[in-house]
Amino acid sequence: MNVRKRLALAATTAVLGSGLALGSAAGATASPAEQGVRADVRPSYSCGYYNGTALTKAGQTGSAAKKRIKEVQCLINRNTSYPTILGVDGKFGNKTYKAVVKVQQKARISDDGQVGKNTWKKLRNGVFW
């Protein structure tokens, strides 16, 4: 069981064991903490490196590409069940390529190893298996 799943299980167990009510006040929206969900296991729409959807793939260089690649690596770590934690180093190497392909396969989109609009959308919304 990977770390994210263990954290989610621990958070759920703590909430259920304490008898904390998960409902919210009439008309009010409960915060993630009130819902028993840890912020570090919920999908994050951005890690702060890049917010667009430009094609990102192996072999790209330059500061803009490095920011996009860091965003891909961070989103894979935060928003997927990929079992290996990627280094957020801005290098689209073999580990990042394999992680992108696996996420694409699990999301049932083209598994070409390139991060285009569809893959960005899936990464930002979470791909859990």
Region of poorest pLDDT, from 16-25, 34-43, 90-99? 16-25
pLDDT at 129: 81
Whether the CB-CB separation of 32 and 42 falls below 8 Å is answered with yes
Token pair of 63 as six digits: 């500061």
Residue 88 confidence class, pLDDT cut points 50, 70, 90: very high
Name the pLDDT band for 2 (thresholds 50, 70, 90).
low
Mean pLDDT, range 37-52, rounded to an integer: 75
Contact 128, 78 (CB under 8 A): no
The length of the chain is 129
Partnered with residue 127 across adjacent β-strands are: 80
Output the pLDDT for position 107.
Answer: 96
Is residue 15 within 8 A of residue 36, CB to CB? The reply is: yes
